[in-house]
Amino acid sequence: MNAIILSLLGAAIILDKYALGEFGISQPIITGTIIGAIFGDVWFGIFLGAMVQLVFLGGLPIGRDIPPDGQSAGIITVGSYFLLRNFNSFGHSLFLAVVLGLVGSIIGGILEIYVRKFNEKLYHRFVHHEECLYICHTMGLLTAFIRGLCLFLPLFVFSQLIGVPDVFPQITKETLMIIGISIGLANSFYLFVKIKTVVYLLIGGICGLALVVF
Partner 1 sequence: MRLSFGRLLKIFWHSLFIQTSWSFPSMQSMGFLSDLVAGVGEDKKSEILKTQRGLFNTHPYMVSYIVGATVRAYDEGRASAEEIGKFLAVAQTSFASAGDLLFWRTLRPALLLLAVILGIHFGIVGPITFLVIYNIFHLFHRIKGINDGYNLGWDVIYLLKDRRFKMVREIFEAAGAVLSGLLFSLAAFGVSYLLVIPLTALFMIMLVRRYSAVLIIISVLLLVLIIGMV
The site map against partner 1 for 13-52 (x = CB under 8 A) is -----xxxxxxxx-x-xx-xx--------xx--xx-xx--
Q: Least distance from C-beta 96 to partner 1, angstroms?
A: 9
Check: CB of residue 67 under 8 Å from CB of residue 59.
Answer: yes
Stretch that binds partner 1, among 59-67, 80-88, 147-155, 156-164 (CB under 8 A): 59-67
The full length of the chain comes to 214
Q: Which is nearer to partner 1, 2 or 137 (CB)?
A: 137
Residue closer to partner 1 by CB (options 2, 202) is 202
| Distance between CA atoms of residues 53 and 57, nearest Å | 6
Q: Which of 95, 151, 152, 160 binds partner 1 (CB under 8 A)?
A: 95
Tell whether residue 58 is a contact of partner 1 (CB under 8 A).
yes
Range in contact with partner 1 (rule: CB under 8 A) among 4-12, 64-72, 147-155, 158-166: 64-72
C-alpha count within 13 angstroms, C-beta hemisphere, residue 79:
34
Min dist CB 213 to partner 1, Å, is 9
The number of beta carbons lying within 10 Å of the beta carbon of residue 109 is 17
Contact (CB, 8 A) for 103 and 77: no
Does the protein bind partner 1 through residue 161 (CB under 8 A)? Answer: no
201 forms part of the interface with partner 1 (CB under 8 A) = yes
The set of residues, in sequence order, having a beta carbon less than 8 Å from that of 206 and lying 6+ positions away, is none
CA separation for the pair 132, 59 (Å, rounded): 34
Is residue 5 involved in binding partner 1 (CB under 8 A)? no
Interacting residues with partner 1 between 71 and 90 (CB under 8 A): none
- Give the residue among 74, 72, 39 at the shortest CA–CA distance from 54: 74
Could you give the angle at the alpha carbon of 184 between the alpha carbons of 183 and 189, nearest 5°? 100
Distance CA 118, CA 112 (A): 10
Nearer to partner 1, 2 or 205 (CB): 205
CB of 28 to partner 1, least distance (A): 9
Q: Vertex 186, ends 182 and 190: CA angle to 5°?
A: 170
In the region spanning residues 101 to 140, those forming contacts with partner 1, defined by CB under 8 A, are 102-103, 105-106, 109, 116-117, 119-120, 122-123, 126-127, 130, 133-134, 136-140
Residues in contact with partner 1, total (CB under 8 A)? 95
